[in-house]
Amino acid sequence: MNIWVEALTGKQALLFSFIAKFFMDRGDNVIITCREYDYTARIFFQRGLKPYVLGRYGGGTLLGKIRASLDRQLRMLDIITEKNIDVHISFTSPDSCRVAYGLNIPIINLTDSPHSYIVNKLTIPLSRFLIIPHCIPKKEFSHLISLRNIYTFNGIFEVTWTKNFSPDSRILDELNLDKYRYIVMRTEEKKASYYKHMDSRPTLISIFIDKLISRERGLKIVIFPRYIDQKKYLIKKYGEKIIIPERSVDTQSLAHYSLLVITGGSTFAQEAALQGIPSISYFPYHFYIEEYIAKRGFPLFHYIDIINALKKMLDIISDPFKYHINTTGLLERMESPLELLEKIINQIFIED
């Protein structure tokens, strides 16, 4: 079977690298497409996979987004028409879904983001099937796809690459860090279509950095900006007071040995919390996944209000090992979507 997967972000690249190898191991041919954005392409290459890197992220403007999308679709069309694809798997990529739908290729979409209204409208109605974590109510997507075509699994996507993960302590030497003496930060995805533009600063993460610098001089800060303007802003404001890795690094191992993780998104916090590392997310929406993780006992704390997030940061720093936990037993009770995905693909093959 010829399977086409598409990744737009680092999280998706991690997920689809596992999905690709899963199906390759059973003898399928897997074609991978991605864009030049953040660490997306590099994650595939680091894992020994060779994606087609097509186009770039369109930036924060509507015109930029549509130009980049159309360019990617045309490039995809030239490649995919020659591959005789049987099924396409996407994490709600508007570009690949439009091409797959136009070529009558069955689409399986994965998502954990009901808040991504615009992207969901452009992708989910084109899907044969939708896979979501069980903690997200199916009704969140019922206006976009029939409920009978929505499948759930008892876990979250991050379990796929976290459950059997073994940290590599060489990351500490690589960045000149000491175990539990640094905090890892990730800026918010401020240019995403769903993000609230509430502040003129390129990133709100500076609020946390300012507080840390003024109170905790012994802790190092490792930060991963999402955009060039965020990176320039942080370098200009803090200089050598922060560490910004210049190339793709093993962020899971980095989080594993950290004191705390803080992010304006969700994936980084979820990955760290699954490893038992206390994590704070200031993502500006209610998020089913984070609520689910926290209720199951993982040390993840979500605050829409920055002031409360700051208070929790200081609380954790004052007694960090109160929050560090062993999550092996908790992870064993959670599923990855791989087996469900295999079942659905086999079903499509039988039907078609």
Class of CATH domain 170-332: alpha beta
Residue 194, pLDDT score:
63
Decide which of 3.40.50.2000, 3.60.21.10, 3.60.15.10, 1.10.1040.50 is the CATH code for 2-162+335-351: 3.40.50.2000
Question: What are the residues whose beta carbons fall under 8 Å from the beta carbon of 315, sequence distance 6 or more?
Answer: none
Residue 352, pLDDT score:
67
Residue 314, pLDDT score:
95
Per the CB < 8 A criterion, the answer to whether 276 and 298 are in contact is yes
Q: What is the DSSP string of 298-333?
A: --EEE-SSHHHHHHHHHHHHHSGGGT----HHHHHT
Per the CB < 8 A criterion, the answer to whether 96 and 76 are in contact is yes
CA distance 126 to 95: 12
Predicted TM-score (pTM) of the model is 0.91
| Dihedral (CA of 243, 163, 293, 16) sign | positive
Q: What is the CA radius of gyration of the chain?
A: 20
Sequence spans of domains, the chain:
2-162+335-351, 170-332
Question: What are the residues whose beta carbons fall under 8 Å from the beta carbon of 113, sequence distance 6 or more?
Answer: 92, 119, 120, 194
DSSP β-ladder status, 107-110 and 260-263:
unpaired
Q: How many C-alpha atoms does 303 have within 13 Å on its Cβ side?
A: 13
Burial class (CB within 10 angstroms; exposed 0-12, middle 13-18, buried 19+) of 45: middle
Phi, psi values for residue 312, rounded to 5°: -65, -40
Per the CB < 8 A criterion, the answer to whether 212 and 221 are in contact is yes
CA distance 88 to 266: 25
> What distances in angstroms separate CA 43 from CA 46, 142, 165, one per listed residue?
5, 33, 16
Which stretch of DSSP H or E encloses residue 215? Answer: helix 205-215
Other C-beta atoms lying within 10 Å of the C-beta of residue 2:
15
CA distance 242 to 252: 19
Report which residue type is found at 103: L
Same CATH topology for 2-162+335-351 and 170-332: the answer is: yes
Residue with tokens 């079977």: 1
- Largest CA-CA distance found in the chain, in angstroms, rounded: 63
Other C-beta atoms lying within 10 Å of the C-beta of residue 75:
18
**pLDDT in 10s for each residue of the chain, 352 residues:** 999 999 999 899 999 999 999 999 999 999 999 998 878 999 999 999 999 999 988 887 889 989 999 999 999 999 999 999 999 999 999 999 999 999 999 999 999 999 999 999 999 999 999 999 999 999 999 999 999 999 999 999 999 999 999 999 999 999 999 999 999 999 998 887 666 655 678 899 999 999 999 887 789 999 999 989 999 999 999 999 999 998 878 999 999 999 999 999 999 999 999 999 999 999 988 889 999 999 999 999 999 999 999 999 999 999 999 999 999 999 999 999 999 999 999 988 777 6
Residue 60, pLDDT score:
77
